[in-house]
A and B are shown apart, each in its own frame.
Chain A
């Protein structure tokens, strides 16, 4: 099953139940009392998902490890490598 199929299956199940409730195929006092909240549920979920996505991405961007030591270590090793290779007969441009 591809990821697209998985999504389609999950969404059809969700909207199947959703439509059955708002068209009053399923009858229960809870549904009748909260009909408005149920009606706007998909919008609320999309909104929450949006908030989750934006905060997660921003948080991870701001906390992305800055590997300064790794860069400095590499610079030192480049110099070391050039020195060692030069002593073994290799020529460098700079």
Chain B
């Protein structure tokens, strides 16, 4: 039977963690999915791990696994770390900040099964997909960056920087080994390399509700980093 390991990398998410876990359990139990939730906390000073331990007490250590690391070590290695503890044959990665809603996971799974896709990616840019909490400027930057990357990289996926995705475990292992970048650009590199490695990609429109608690990061530094990496991928992949 298929098992889905959900990787939740966290850093200072004590407010969001109980909610996201509750939502995951609600929607996955409802769809009778076999799953485990792996919390990879990078030594948050705000007590995220204490919250995780409370959740384990409530829901059991077969459903929720806390596999922390000492300090912030980057997203790519967080996934590697999480996968080394994962017993599922599929891996789902998502943000723990409530911008990704677990109600879409059953749709990811259904689409994956139907076409035997290697990857199913959530997309904010297609169909019923969209965002909430973005002003005009933020939308413009997002659309501009998306247009430019589609134009230059033609990746067969409409949402390059989104990080709500389902992978076959061996596919994710291969992709992580091939990727070099850090931070949110990592998501973009994964999907661009997936195209180059001829993995099949399906897409599910998702709604993205920007952080309820805490700040979301989007400034000049992020834009410059994005542009630099876009050109780098353009020249090398």
Contact = CB atoms under 8 A, between A and B. Distances in A.
A13 B69 CA distance: 53
A70 B209 contact: yes
Contacts of B139: 61, 64
Interface stretch (B16-24, B168-176, B221-229): B16-24
A64 B143 contact: yes
Nearest to A94: B15
Interface in B167-220: 207-209, 212
A3 B150 CA distance: 11
A85 B58 contact: yes
A2 B19 CA distance: 43
B74 to A, nearest CB: 25
Interface residues of B, number: 41
A14 B68 CA distance: 55
A92 B18 CA distance: 9
A56 B54 CA distance: 48
Interface residues of A, number: 29
Contacts of B128: 65
Contact of A85 (B18, B136, B144, B234): B18
B124 to A, nearest CB: 8
Interface string A54-94: 00111011001111101100110110011011001110110
A67 B22 contact: no
Contacts of A64: 130-131, 134, 139, 142-143
A4 interface: yes
